[in-house]
Amino acid sequence: MSPTLSARLDRVIADLPESFPGPGGAVAVVRDGQVLVRHAWGFANAELRIPFTPKSLFRMCSITKQFTCATLLDQFPDPADLDGAVRAQLPLLPGPVPGTAQLAHNQSGLRDYWAVAMLLGAPAESSFGDHESERVIRATRSLQFAPGTRFSYSNNNFRILSNALESRTGRSFAELLRTRIFDRAGMETAFLAADTRALPDGSEGYEGTVAAGFRPAENRILWTGDAGLGASLDDMIAWERHIDATRDEPDSLYGRISGPVTFADGAPATYGFGLSRGVDRGRAFTGHGGALRGWRSNRVHIPSERLSVVVMLNHLSPAHVALASVVDAVLDQAPAASRPDMDPPGWLGAWLEPETGLSLRAAAAGSGQVQVQFGHSPEGLVLQPDGSAVNPGMALVPDGDGLRLERVGDNLRSRLVRLAEGPKRLDAAGVWRCEELDAELTLVDAGGALYGAFSGALGRGRMEQMTAVADDVWALPCPRALDHTPPGDWTVAVRRDGSGQAQEITLGCWLARNLTYRRRD
């Protein structure tokens, strides 16, 4: 390592605890198969004063998905061989039933079962284990889109895959991971940490902020192929070194899960086999993040540089931002300069995307940027001289008197419908029922403010104040969910009959959309 690279890394690593304050964290940099950085700081358990070290166990959450897919391809080189075991878990879905590869690419059309759990009334800290997950998955009666045509993140895709692997091999998923992946990669302490209530070494995840204080996070979810990996920084270093050591092997595990993936129409996909893939800073990359209440992690691999970076935080600071700062230091690349202020475009406001039924809200964000609420969480877009606004995953392009939405990663391109402003009508108050979910939405006019809550097989959710987006379109927030990261605001669109009476609601968020509710009374 050159002295200048060493100095850059020393600076950025020393800055991480201040820039991303919390109980503790860890970071690794592997280049050309050599470990340039192996560093941890703070505490894995602040109450018990257990230091965070490179050997501390950590909940890697959704980073698990690539290991599930590596196991899939190790056991079944042709994923279609597992289609029957997938189909058996969806007995009420009339068809078409998504194939194994479509699950692995998040192209199944299945609604995310953690989001659906909120529609079924699950409180934020409730238990969600094998019984609950099977109940939600087996009750599936429809898809959000035809398999292979779109991308939508769905955690149950990977739980179904791990269930199918167990069914077909007769071996536990934990055993398959250990013998087929972890042992081969030298991940000595990695294991399937399915029960989220505790880790065996006492490591803890935390909620809170420096100003409000930190507290241990409550988790009662049982995870498998979607987010069950428990691993230390040393385990992740072993994985990254295994990737580099096998880079030229035509049948390498990572080479197989990181290869090109397409949609059914041949368009390239930016997600496949549990990995995001794309181009950033002028270089192709693969990677993934992980998030659970109390835990944030991210890893990236840049093959042209033989570079891997891993960041793990046992609190809720943005690990992906920390990771980007480390990558920039390795590549000696300055962060992107802020754009000059530009006049806000005339298309700001509320729109409806017709295929998904979701509202899109765009507002000025300063420094030549626009903030958009549409998908999982607010997104920043940079204004362009032609009046459009873009980020790596989304573009909003003026089109005559309208606006076009382009989300290449989702294979979605559509012309948005501007939502009309109007009076804040509260007559949608009442009980609404979704037959497909056997669940209810209760809307209450509480002194001139509309509140909403879900009820169903998993309980009674809390009342949340709704925000009027436009005439007969509301946003119902979901600030806390099973895995902390909420599914995003729910779009509640009221439909009226010829006499003007509220008769039907179309409800959805990016992870679970196009559900119909009708008045129970």
Whether 162 sits among the annotated catalytic residues: the reply is no
Catalytic residue among 2, 19, 56, 62: 62
Contact between 440 and 520 under an 8 Å Cβ cutoff? The reply is yes
Within 243-306, strands assigned E span 271-272, 275-280, 283-292, 295-302
* Phi and psi at residue 244, to the nearest 5°: -70, -40
Cα–Cα distance measured from residue 452 to residue 466, given in angstroms and rounded to the nearest whole number: 7
Whether 2 sits among the annotated catalytic residues: the reply is no
Amino acid at 512: A
Cα–Cα distance measured from residue 163 to residue 97, given in angstroms and rounded to the nearest whole number: 16
Q: Of all residues in the chain, what percent are helix, strand and coil, respectively (each to 5)?
A: 25, 35, 40
Cα–Cα distance measured from residue 430 to residue 354, given in angstroms and rounded to the nearest whole number: 26
Cα–Cα distance measured from residue 139 to residue 6, given in angstroms and rounded to the nearest whole number: 55
* Other residues' Cβ atoms within 10 Å of the Cβ of residue 351: 25
Amino acid at 31: R
- Which class for 467: exposed (0-12), middle (13-18), buried (19 or more C-beta within 10 A)? middle
Find all residues with CB under 8 Å of 64, minimum gap 6, and list them: 158, 223, 225, 226, 227, 228, 229, 274, 290
Angle between helices 64-75 and 156-169 (to 10 degrees): 30
Find all residues with CB under 8 Å of 131, minimum gap 6, and list them: none
Cα–Cα distance measured from residue 402 to residue 307, given in angstroms and rounded to the nearest whole number: 43
Catalytic residue among 2, 19, 55, 65: 65
Buried b (16+ CB within 10 A) or exposed e, 130-141: eebbeebbebbe
**Active-site residue list:** 62, 65
